Amino acid sequence: MSKMTESADDMTKSTSPFLSLTGLRAALRDGSISSTAATEAILTRIETIDPTLRSFVTVTAEEALAQARAADQRLANGEKTPLLGVPVAIKEILCSEGIVSQAGSKILEGFKPPYDAYVVSKLKAAGAVIVGMTNTDEFGMGSSTEYSAFQTSRNPWNIECTPGGSSGGSAAAVAGGLAYGALGTDTGGSVRLPASFCGIVGLRPTYGRVSRWGVIAYASSLDQVGPMGRTVEDTAVMLQTISGYDERDSTSIETAVPDYEAACTGDIRGLKIGIPQEYFIEGLDPEVKAAVEAAIEQLAALGAEIVDISLPHTKYALPMYYLIATAEASANLARYDGVRFGPRVPGKDVIETTMRTRALFGPEVKNRIMLGTFVLSAGYYDAYYGRALKARTLLINDFNRAFEQVDVILTPTSPTTAFKIGEKADDPLQMYLTDIFTVSLNLSASCGLSVPCGRDSAGLPIGLQLIGATLQEETILRVAHAYQQATEWHTAHPPV
Amino acid sequence: MSETLTKFEAVIGLEIHAEMLTQSKMFSGCRVVDSVEAAPNSAVDPLSLGMPGMLPVINRSAVEMAMKVGLALNCEINAYNAFERKNYFYPDLPKGYQITQYAHPVATNGYLDIKGASGETKRVRIRRAHIEEDTGKLTHLSDGRSLVDYNRAGVPLLEIVSEPDMRTAEEALAFATKIRQILRYLDVNTGDMEKGIIRFEANISIRPLGSDALNTRVEVKNLNSFRSLTSSIEYQIAQQIETVEGGSVVEQATLGWDEDRKQTYSQRSKEDAHDYRYFPEPDLPPLIIGPDWIDRVREQLVELPDSKLRRYLTELGLPSYDAEVIVEDRPVAEWFDAAVAAGGDPKTVANWLINNLFALMNEHKQTIENSRVSPQGMVDLLALIEAETINKNTAKSVLVDMFLSGQTAKTIVEEKGLAQISDDGPILTIIQTIIDDNPQMVANYLGGKDKLRGWFMGQVMRELRGKGNPALVNRLLDQKLGELKKR
């Protein structure tokens, strides 16, 4: 390849919407593309493709272009903040000052918070260009975005299918080349599941690694913001930006943030990877199983040691999750009464006004509020919520024991690939089962990510879940990166 | 009534809700204002409004205030502190739950000694004291609309719960008064009941005299004056006795108190829903209070009223009335302590404080802190009396001057020439002049009207413009009048 064609190649690459975040960052820094041009290209692409994908609820074109122009100035001055000039998207469950942040709910329709969530201010400080707010199941309660009050997002690989949820908007945007990276939130798998369904990388950090300040709460002891990217390195850059101690979140961990990009060494020789038998169960799609097994072989070939392990309380994770998450949600959602913010549906008195306003909650949210209220009620607390808390300790012990033996735990992210829109929307239990492999991590003090490891016969992506011990994000990034170096699943793009 | 009182006794427990006077709210940096004076919703922030995504952070200074109260009430300060969510719906509760301590309060198992009816010491046990956040305030308009003010929402509250150890309204009053006094001493609360900064709740039941039974109790909430505290307890005791004597049983109830009609009424409110669905506040990890922290807080404790009272009675020999009056308010007691430390005689200082300075403070509506008479100033004034530079009557007017002008006693005495005349010469001259000018009075006096001696004394002192050393004037007058009699 001659020099001439190489540079011509670079030019086409730099305008490709599927260029990696780190690739775009390099192009921005060496001046081969401006942030304004990259942002305009993304906005044009959103205009063209998003009427189909419906990943954005709000596109902030004006603000994004202003941020891009400012970034170009700073780039010209030689500044090198981590995301300077990079167009990214955020889930609309993250409060964004002056921008409609509705958590997918009618009860927050048009709500413009007077503050930025911690992670949003971190993105801004890093120079990111925020192109819009992405779709989510209402308050993050769902696995498909079908429970969004505003729209259902589509899977870029097959628009008949769901992108997964609840951070389905962010996943579809990243997979569809509508953003170079995105933020989601993960309470029971809401970053990893859509990442898996859309063939991208999604990471759920250790609880406390990322501040929840300004994140519209679903289940406070489980919620965590997580980055999504088309490559492991891209995800590492996003994670780097949003991690850190925040005194405004009392559950935030006060410890130094390691260099996550540097963790992507490609070398996993000698690393022990545990395979929990409890995740290879009936109901696991054979194609998913085959892809995951192939990935295990690949990792072994890269020098990792594969160890069979057991997480015996896995089968209790899903019920535990629905007891704890709904209990917390029932309290967290009590503030939506139309008095101080958000829409108000007037009635003849305070009570009627409250009742009418709360009727704006969608059916799934109402389900969970009722379930949560029930499990905390006098006479039922010990049998349900109290027992779930005790079981949670057992589950944490499972993971602690496992991490005495291994460095990383490997599982499928989901038992299946993306399902059809409408397929499970009327069957909450089937929908809940989608999270069966992801919820354990939220209940324990672990971190985890989903990385693409194949496609099924219908061409839909398959995700591999890597779980790390508390604050071992570096380790799972290292394994996932090494895997991506040896495979090409992440280089394929959906037909949009 | 006297018959029934001999048959029954009341069992009374109190709960005290006291706002803690911190700079900022319990879980956010939002400033705390006087919620009666401040414009509605002028001291709010996204957290105290319960806006989405906002997270609580524990106010350290509120925790320390609670620890101080716990220590002052002889409680154990618990190492493991947890906050929980108390869920109930009311429009003045922004989040739909109140963050409070439930299973793991900051302080438990204390006591407070009060004075019983016949002056004996009575010990009231303290079950617990816990930290929580206050709610906003709701105002219902006559047109059906309701207004809500969130200035008070999130203000740190301390809830102190006694055991049901009180038997009469007087004991409850003594306990409440003393709790309020301690909170004021510790600068935790101003004790301003009219503003609702401190509120009481009484749990009342009755039982046959001599029984140990704890019968069904009635709660009377939101008592915001000592008068309503005692009246409501007395009213409830009478009601319950009437109920039981009438052959019925007392039913558990949550009541309010109507101060105008002097009766309790059933409260229809948020309290109807009794299932608060408490669960651990996931946004706040447990707060661990180590022994070092407790020691540091203990070191900051000021001398409490009981200890001061003991000291005044035994070490300083004050009469018990004086000692109690001075101990009542911490600033007064500290003023007094400072005066004694500056060399003032305790009894004399106490007399001048209670008999003179208090009168001036009342007349001019001032407190001891903003009074211009410093402890040292008072001691200097008393020294002038001691040195016979001025007499007591002059001193009283000098004190008024000091109070109004802020000048020192010495300056006032010098500038106004108020020093006593203690030389024989000028006094004798004046006495002679008065004798010479009033022959008829002298004649009457010599004729047996001994009482006229006082008239002569008054005339002399008037001529001396009050500055005569009274003892000297008396002696010289007697000497002169004696000489006249001998003639």
Q: Which domains does chain B have, with CATH numbers?
A: 3-294 (no CATH), 303-416 (no CATH), 424-486 (1.10.10.410)
**B4, B245 contact by CB (below 8 A):** yes
A251 and B146: CB-CB below 8 Å?
no
Q: What's residue B420's pLDDT? A: 75
User: In which residue ranges of chain A is pLDDT below 70?
Assistant: 1-15
Nearest to B180 by CA among B170, B166, B192: B192
CA atoms within 13 A on the CB side of A359: 9
Looking at chain B, which residue has its C-alpha nearest residue A350?
Answer: B146
Distance from CA of B103 to the nearest CA of A (A): 14
Cα distance between residue B151 and residue B135, in whole Å: 9
pLDDT in tens, B291-340: 999 999 999 999 999 999 999 999 999 999 999 999 999 999 999 999 99
Q: Provide the ipTM.
A: 0.94
B29 CB within 8 Å of a chain A CB: no
- Chain B CB contacts of A348 below 8 Å: 144
- Chain B CB contacts of A104 below 8 Å: none
Q: Which of A247, A327, A333 sits opposite B57 (nearest CB)?
A: A247
Nearest to A189 by CA among A231, A240, A224, A236: A224
Distance from CA of B55 to the nearest CA of A (A): 6
A340 and B85: CB-CB below 8 Å?
no
User: In which residue ranges of chain B is pLDDT below 50?
Assistant: 1-2, 269-271
Q: What's residue B273's pLDDT? A: 53
Q: What's residue A9's pLDDT? A: 41
- State CA A84 to chain mean position distance: 22
A376 and B55: CB-CB below 8 Å?
no
**Cα separation of the two ends of chain B:** 76
Cα distance between residue A50 and residue A159, in whole Å: 11
Q: Which two tokens stand for residue B281?
A: 């506040």
Measured over all CA atoms, what is the biggest interatomic distance in chain B, rounded to whole angstroms?
105
Q: Which two tokens stand for residue A139?
A: 């308050």
Cα distance between residue B255 and residue B240, in whole Å: 13
B277 CB within 8 Å of a chain A CB: yes
- The number of residues making up chain A comes to 496
Distance from CA of B38 to the nearest CA of A (A): 19
Q: b/e map of A141-177 (b: 16 or more CB within 10 Å)?
A: bbbbbbbbbbbbbbbbbbbebbbbbbbbbbbbbbbbb
Nearest to B477 by CA among B420, B450, B386, B465: B450
Cα distance between residue B431 and residue A85, in whole Å: 104
Using a 10 angstrom Cβ sphere, with 0-12 exposed, 13-18 middle and 19 or more buried, the burial of residue A429 is: exposed
- Chain A CB contacts of B282 below 8 Å: 219-221, 251, 328
Beta bridge partners of B124: B112
Question: What is the number of other CB atoms lying within 10 angstroms of the CB of residue A255?
Answer: 12
Question: What is the number of other CB atoms lying within 10 angstroms of the CB of residue B39?
Answer: 9
Distance from CA of B313 to the nearest CA of A (A): 49
A327 and B87: CB-CB below 8 Å?
no
B275 and A339: CB-CB below 8 Å?
no
Cα distance between residue A264 and residue A477, in whole Å: 6
Cα distance between residue A374 and residue A371, in whole Å: 5
Active site residues of A: 91, 166, 190
**B181, B306 contact by CB (below 8 A):** no
Angle formed by the axes of helices B439-446 and B470-486, to 10°?
80
B53 CB within 8 Å of a chain A CB: yes
Q: Which of A113, A247, A373 sits opposite B277 (nearest CB)?
A: A373
pLDDT in tens, B135-186: 999 998 888 788 999 999 999 999 999 999 999 999 999 999 999 999 999 9
Nearest to A429 by CA among A359, A371, A362, A358: A371
Cα distance between residue B78 and residue B67, in whole Å: 9
B91 and A350: CB-CB below 8 Å?
yes
Cα distance between residue B261 and residue B150, in whole Å: 30
- The number of residues making up chain B comes to 487
Cα distance between residue A7 and residue A19, in whole Å: 15
Q: Which of A220, A250, A373 sits opposite B57 (nearest CB)?
A: A250
Determine the residue among B55, B57, B88 to mutate to test chain A binding: the one whose Cβ has the most chain A Cβ atoms within 10 Å: B55
- Rg (Cα) of chain B, in Å, rounded? 31
Q: What is the pLDDT of chain B when averaged over all its residues?
A: 92
**A376, B87 contact by CB (below 8 A):** yes
- State CA B26 to chain mean position distance: 25
Distance from CA of B48 to the nearest CA of A (A): 11
Distance from CA of A344 to the nearest CA of B (A): 13
- Chain A CB contacts of B87 below 8 Å: 330-331, 334, 376
Query: Which residues, numbered 380 to 399 in chain B, qualify as contacts with chain A under a Cβ-Cβ cut-off of 8 Å?
Result: none
Determine the residue among A120, A339, A356, A377 to mutate to test chain B binding: the one whose Cβ has the most chain B Cβ atoms within 10 Å: A339
How many residue pairs from chains A and B have C-beta atoms closer than 8 A? 103
Determine the residue among A250, A324, A354 to mutate to test chain B binding: the one whose Cβ has the most chain B Cβ atoms within 10 Å: A250
**Residue with tokens 């959906």, as numbered in its chain:** A494
Determine the residue among B24, B30, B44, B54 to mutate to test chain A binding: the one whose Cβ has the most chain A Cβ atoms within 10 Å: B54
Nearest to B70 by CA among B32, B122, B35, B105: B105
Q: What residues of A are in the B interface, CB distance below 8 Å?
A: 94-95, 101, 103, 108, 111, 113-115, 117, 212-217, 219-221, 247-251, 327-328, 330-331, 333-335, 337, 339-341, 348-350, 354, 373, 376-378, 381, 385
Show Cβ contacts of residue B108 under 8 Å, excluding neighbours closer than 6 positions: B75, B76, B78, B127, B128, B129
Q: Which of A212, A331, A377 sits opposite B55 (nearest CB)?
A: A212
Cα distance between residue B133 and residue B154, in whole Å: 5
Q: Which of A108, A247, A334 sits opposite B95 (nearest CB)?
A: A334
The pTM assigned to this predicted structure is 0.90
Q: What's residue B2's pLDDT? A: 47
B46 and A115: CB-CB below 8 Å?
yes
Decide: helix, strand or coil at residue B476. Answer: helix
**A243, A257 contact by CB (below 8 A):** yes
Q: What's residue A7's pLDDT? A: 39
- Chain A CB contacts of B97 below 8 Å: 331, 334
